[in-house]
Each structure stands twice: as C-alpha cells, then as structure tokens.
Structure 1
Amino acid sequence: MNIQELYSCFTEADGISIDTRNITPNSLFFALKGDNFDANEFAQEALNKGARYVIMDNPKLVTDRDKMFLVQNTLVALQQLANYHRQQIGLPIIALTGSNGKTTTKELIKSVLSQKYNVKATQGNYNNHIGVPLTLLQFDDETDIGIVEMGANHLNEIALLCTIAQPDYGYITNFGKAHLEGFGGFEGVIKGKSELYDYLEDNHKMAFVNADDPRQDAKTITFSRFTFGSKDTEPNLEISYLPNTEVASIHVGDQAIVSHLTGTYNATNMAAAVAIGHYFGVSFTEANQAIQNYIPTNNRSQWIKQVPFSILMDAYNANPSSMELSIANFAQLTTSTPKIYILGDMFELGRTSEKEHNNIVQQVVETTHTKAFFIGKEFFKAQASVSSESIEFYETLDDFFAQYPAMEELLANKTVLIKGSRGMALEKIVSFLK
C-alpha cells in the first residue's frame, strides 16, 4: 500500500483509532504493536466495532481484504501518513519542547492564539512518536495554526518528530535535569532538546526565544528568531515580571497580566504565550483576557482551595530542576497558615538519582523550618543524612497513609505543596481528603 492509497483511506474515514477499547465510528484503525500487545490480533474486532478500515502489518491475520490493508510497519505508516497530511494542509505549525513547562506553555499559547485564530494543539501530553502523528492528523482545512508539543527522553527523538511535523516555528521552554538516565546527563538533555533548533536552522525557520535565558539566547544567535524578555536583553518584545505572593504575573505594553498560575517559572510561560501571540497579531488586551481565563488542571501548578485546606498541586511530573523551582517558589509565598511540603520521588534520573534526591532534601532543610514529608524509595535512602524532627521519610505512599490515617487533621488549616513524578500518584492524597 503506497502513501496515496493510505491517504485516500484516511480521507474517507472519520479520524484515527489505535485502541479497540474506544473505537470511533467510521475511523481508520492502525494496528500498532507494543511491548506487551499486538493490535493486529484485534483487527477484526476493530471492524466489528465500527472502524471503516484497518492498517496492519501481519499478513497472517488478514481476514477481510476489502477493509484490511497491509503495510510493512504500522507505526512507520502512521508517521508517514501524518507527514503527508501535514504537507497537504500546509498550515503554519509551532513546535515546542523543553524540560519543564511544555504542556502549560502549549495551553497558554493555544489560549492566546485562539483569540484570533482557529487553533488546534496537542491534546494532553500526546507528544511522542505516536502522539505527534495523531496530533497532526487532527489538523484540517479549518485549522489556522497548529501547535505540536514534542517530548523526548533520548537523543534523536526530537529530530524524528521534526521530520514528521516539519514545524515553521519552534520554542524551547528551558534545559533542565529531566530524563537524565535516557539522555546520559545534562549535556545530553541540551543536545537532545536542541534538535528542534537544528531543524529550524537547517530549514531556515524561526525560533521564539526567551532572551533572559542565556543558553537559549546563545543557541539561536545565528538564525531567524523573535525574542522576548527584560529590557536589558534588547528583545523584540519587552516583558517584565511582577512580584506577587501567590500567582504569576507579567507586564507588557500597557497591560498587567495576572494569571491563575503560581511561580515565576509560569510567568515565563505566560510571557512566551504573549510574545508568540504578539508575533501573530494578537493584541495585549486579547492576550490578557486569554490568560486570565486559563484555569490550570491535571495537577499542574493547580491551587485546590476548600476549607480547611489550601493545596498547591503540582504532581503531574517532577525532575530536579522543576522540584527546585517549586520548593523555592513555595518557600517565598506569604500565607496565613503554616506550610507543609509533601514531596515524592523523581523518576528517570539513572546514576544521578541518589545525588539529586539528596540535593532536594538539603534544599528543603536549608530553605524552610516547616514540616516536610518525603515519599518514595529514592527519598527514603536520604533519611540517614538528615536529623530533623520536622522532616519525615516514607518508602511508599501507603506507608504515609498508614502513619496518618486522619489526613484531614494533619493538613487542616495548612498550606500544602504536593509535588512528585507522575508514577508516585500523589494526587491520591487529595482524593483521600475528598
């Protein structure tokens, strides 16, 4: 099956399906393979549930030659289809990556640009070698601008995603200590994320750049870019950051923009969205309205306030860089109630894991004298180096719950930061309270 034939099937169908548990009617089903499954085995089930066609790569399982079509590799075929579709629709695409803040920044950019354009963007964190093609295949003739989030935990992943999406613009939020195990260290992170810059430069495309970040500034100095930042950097768009005890705020033009997000790191994410909107002709007033209307969800810098609790839930993900920023931001907040830290393990750090977890414990010890709970096997190893009645260590979340069955009493009338890697499932603490 060649790409034109595959594209014909796509145009006849109503969207893409990759999971027989949620087949959409008249969809094009791709029988992908995983470590523990082979969707070729469910090809007939996909048709029975309403799929129009099935794309598969196991000839032994073809039972309907009118609706089942063979390719050499279904994943590669999905990626090729997405790239072909991207070329057919020809709309401007903004790609973004980085160690921290990708999804929040993506949502802010979408909110701002949507004031003037019909915008489609990556849903959730569908930002890998499967998610990016699925995102591209959602763009249609009515889409004015597409936003594609790109995630990676190894070298060459961003490069692959760029060849599929062929972005016209790119933005890197930052370089941080994320996925150190896969990238082989911090320098590997920089190299891997910079694959977006490599694509933009090689193809004469444009980068949006936070000029206040020396690494981003240096990486993009030689090619087409639009910069934002403080006046000292002489950016294309000057933005200043307003001090605030609880929420991120910026000032641009004649607008003071106050968000529902917390932390100076989110102020930078806001600035990026405003700058990109400004480049595409969205006024500061429109951008202000968009950001004020954006309410964070999915445990990302999300305030949960209900008497008698006040919880800053930032437990969607964590790495040393984001953890350090969250702790520093929480420490400087002025609150009317005592603070408590509940911090969970950071994953995918490889041989640096022990050192990075120890560093976080020491940061908490040095910056605060309030109560702190560290949960997870990696943090649990650090307890031998700390002697403080205000700090407690638990190997698992269940151990923590067992020690404090009356969680409401522990956290009542407190301001609480909850942060850890997604696999720690710290959101269960909030569910327990409710």
Structure 2
Amino acid sequence: MLGLFLYFYFMKIDDLHQLFLDCSAVSTDTRKVNDNNMFFALSGENFNGNKFAQDALDKGAKYAIIDDPDFKASDNTILVENSLKTLQELATYHRTYLGTKIISLTGSNGKTTTKELINTVLSKKYNTTATIGNLNNHIGVPLTLLSMTKDTEIGIVEMGANHKKEIAFLCDIAKPDFGYITNFGKAHLEGFGGIEGVIEGKSELYHYLTQNDKHVFLNADDSIQIEKLNTYVKKFGFSQTNPEYFKIEFLDANPFVSYKSEAITIQSNLIGAYNFTNLCAATIIGKYFNIDLLDIKDAIERYTPNNNRSQIIKRDNTTIIMDAYNANPSSMEVALQNLSKQDAENKTAILGDMFELGTSAKSEHQNIADLATSLAIDTIILVGENFYKAEIKSPIVKQYKTFESFKDNYTPIIDSYVLIKGSRGMALERVLELI
C-alpha cells in the first residue's frame, strides 16, 4: 500500500487527469458527493477538508485528493502538495485537453444575468456548459471547467473578483478565447482601492485577450471600453449610435426591456433599462456565432430571471421587484432610477446595506439615501448599520439598524410597487415572508 501511496504522491497531472476521466464529476463538499466522484479536500482558515476524505469515499467517491498525509484513508486517497492548486491545474489541463471554445465574462454588475442570457442564446445552436449560479472564483472557475465534456462546444465562464490580479489569475486557469466586460462600477471598493482599481482589475480580462491575440466583445457605447480597445482589431461590439458596430436600439423598459435590431423587436422578461446592455451582449455574441436573429429573439423572450435577480413577484395588488441577490452603489443607483420611472401610484424602496465598500461605506450609503429621497418614490425603508447612520430629513424614510428591528416594526405594504435590494449578507428576500 505504501508503494501505491507514494506513486500517487508523485503522480503527474496528466496521470491524474486519466483518473478524472473515469470519474462522474468533481466534488468539494461531502454533503453533495455522488457515486464515482473525485473529491478534493480543500481547506481554509477555519476548516480542514482533509478530515472529510474518508467520509467522501464512504459516500461513493472514487478518489479523494488530500494534501495532508495524516489523513490517508486507502489506496483511493491521493496525496498532493496542495489540493486547491491541484484542482486548478487539473482544470487547466482538462480545458486544454478538450479544446473547447471558452467565453469568459466579468464586470461590476450583471455578470450572472449576462452569463445566463449568453448561455440561453448559444444553446439554440450549440452544446454549451456555463457557470452554475455564481461559482465564479478561484474554486468555482475550475469546477466549471471540469464540468465540461467532449460534447461541450462552447463554455461560458463567469469570473468574479474583489481585488486586483484575481481576474488575471482566473484567465491563466481558464485560458479564454473570447471575453466580455459588462461594466465598471462601484463594487468591492475596499479590495480594489477605489473605482480606478476596479477598472484596472476588471480590465485584466482585456489584457489577457489582447496579449494572446484572442477575441473581445464590447459595449461600444462605453467610453472606457472604447478607450481600452481603441486600436485592437479582434473585437465585435454593439452600439446605439456608432455605425462601426452592430446596431441595437433601446425601445422601452416599463417594466420589461424591449429593443430592436435589424427591424426585429425583442421583448425581454428583464426589468430595468440597466439590463439593456446585458441583453445586447447576448445578442451580439449570438450573432458572432452565426445564430439567426429570430432564434436569438426566441431565446431572449423565453428567458425568465430567477434567484432573486430582478424577479417580478406578485402578491395580491402588490408588485415586487426582488433584486436582493447583491448590491453596490452602481447597481443600487440604476435600480432606484428604474423604480422611480415605473407607472405606479405608490412606489416603495426597501434597501439593505451594501458591503465591501471600506472607507467609502459612509459616504456611499449617504449618497444612495439622498438619491432615493430625490426620486419619485413614495416610501423608503433603509435596513442595516450603514443606512441607519445616514443623515436624512424626510418623512417618507424609515431607518432600521437590523432586519429584526424592521421586522418587529413592520407595517403591511399593500397596493404598492416595491423594490427590494441589498447585499447578499442582508438576506432581504426575508421581506417576502412579511408582505
């Protein structure tokens, strides 16, 4: 057994890949292990994944990858120097082995919605594999790549980041052939060190693509994107005004976005003008991959958002925009502006704190509170420590330090058009239990 164990310790990545090909999937969570999985024991500051290797094998995993020899369980335990690094290296090897076309996308807002739209459109013609949910970090990207098979013709890989060099690192893992940046906004300011840091960090995708002579998709009405890609040749973009790019015309967003291209009108199920560019991205990527515009129209019009991202929920005479998956100053601003433009007699905004803003937290929460009170919104409810500290002199605003305090003082909302938006940690979807 010792000899076999030592062999596994010095196993090359191509040999490990051969074992992976005989497995059904990769897992990093024993609660989700299925038969014939390859389990990677990942560890963090507060947990040691190696402790669960035997549990994974007992639940049907074919192999368990560990990086601590004290937890060798059987001949099916494979010791490596670093489980996480091995997972990433295996993903890159698998991506190269398949040779699948990879589209990567990042940005401050709209990544997941755009990824879902692109996948919906491309699925009209191709066998696709896309990031599940928002598994878009140093673990999620490898898992997405390893979920691809020889049948996958196009992979759509979402990339998230909260500090510089992270997108560059993810590009080295995924090695994308194409890329798109949704926008540059005030997200993760604490990690990026300000909006200029956000632009620099997200643009690492552009840097990878241009340095490797790959293709770039862009919003040609975004001055930052145009500036960054001014002289680059391999680009394909959309614009409302620039004749050099594929023309798409915004029509309306009351509440759902509709737009026109090549005399064809597309009526989406996405609310808010801020979703227009997300729809445009899916449209031009579909066009680039030779999907007929009528098929793109069909795909877009069949797509319905879920998972607390711009969902429309009806409760008697109350219409709810459930957008509680995440929030930052940029996305909060456009969501409030969208609410104010809705054709409704009574409009309510329930807003939760925005996280990861660092030293900008106080000013950004004050800015959003001031914006909300300046718009055509009838009732504003602010929940969270930062919003509680905002200085507001308006009778339409109610402030609560915690969700529990809001819940205890909740006044029924009826016959209203309601926006619910806050960072993930605020879990504002709990408001639905009250309405």
Query: TM-score, with normalisation over the residues of structure 2?
Result: 0.96
Q: Distance in 1 between matches of 2:253 and 2:199?
A: 31
Q: Distance in 2 between matches of 1:42 and 1:346?
A: 35
Counterpart position of 1:310? 319
CA contact (8 A) 2:43 2:49 kept: yes
CA contact (8 A) 1:109 1:273 kept: yes
Q: How does 1:342-361 map to 2 (within 5 A)?
A: 342-361=350-369
Deviations 1:64-103 (A, max 9, x none): 1x20111100000000000000000001100000000000
Q: State which of 14, 22, 31 in structure 2 corresponds to 1:12.
A: 22
Q: State which of 221, 241, 254 in structure 1 corresponds to 2:250.
A: 241
Q: Distance in 1 between matches of 2:269 and 2:19?
A: 44
Deviation at residue 369 of structure 1 after TM alignment: 5.0
Deviation at residue 414 of structure 1 after TM alignment: 0.7
Counterpart position of 2:4? none
Figure out how many residues of one structure are paired with residues of the other and give that number: 424
Matching of residue 414 in structure 1 with residue 423 in structure 2: no
Q: How does 1:211-250 map to 2 (within 5 A)?
A: 211-223=220-232, 224-230=234-240, 232-250=241-259
Deviations 1:337-380 (A, max 9, x none): 41111011000000000000000011011113511100000000
Q: Distance in 1 between matches of 2:263 and 2:153?
A: 28
What SS is found at the alignment partner of 2:117?
Answer: helix
Counterpart position of 2:57? 47
CA contact (8 A) 2:87 2:142 kept: yes
Q: Name segments (4+ residues, structure 1) moved above 2 Å.
A: none
What SS is found at the alignment partner of 1:77?
Answer: helix
Counterpart position of 1:101? 110
Counterpart position of 2:428? 426
Counterpart position of 2:157? 148
Q: How does 1:54-73 map to 2 (within 5 A)?
A: 54-64=64-74, 66-73=75-82
Matching of residue 21 in structure 1 with residue 60 in structure 2: no
Counterpart position of 1:322? 331
Deviation at residue 244 of structure 1 after TM alignment: 3.3
**What is the CA RMSD across the aligned residues, in angstroms?**
1.0
Counterpart position of 2:90? 81
Structure 1 residues 369 and 61: alpha-carbon distance in aligned structure 2, compared to 1, 3 A threshold: closer
Counterpart position of 2:407? 401
CA contact (8 A) 2:221 2:239 kept: yes
Counterpart position of 2:42? 32
Deviations 1:116-164 (A, max 9, x none): 1111100000000000000000111111100000000011110010000
Q: Percent identity?
A: 51
What SS is found at the alignment partner of 1:32?
Answer: coil
CA contact (8 A) 2:253 2:273 kept: no
Q: Distance in 1 between matches of 2:41 and 2:293?
A: 46
Q: How does 1:279-318 map to 2 (within 5 A)?
A: 279-318=288-327
Matching of residue 126 in structure 1 with residue 128 in structure 2: no
Counterpart position of 2:7? none
Deviation at residue 38 of structure 1 after TM alignment: 0.8
Matching of residue 392 in structure 1 with residue 398 in structure 2: yes
CA contact (8 A) 1:113 1:277 kept: yes
Stretch moving more, 241-250 or 179-188: 241-250
Counterpart position of 1:138? 147
Query: TM-score, with normalisation over the residues of structure 1?
Result: 0.96
Q: State which of 199, 202, 205 in structure 2 corresponds to 1:196.
A: 205
Q: Distance in 2 between matches of 1:265 and 1:179?
A: 19
Deviations 1:163-218 (A, max 9, x none): 00000000000000000000111111001000000000110001100001111111
Unaligned runs of 5+ in 1: none
CA contact (8 A) 1:211 1:235 kept: no
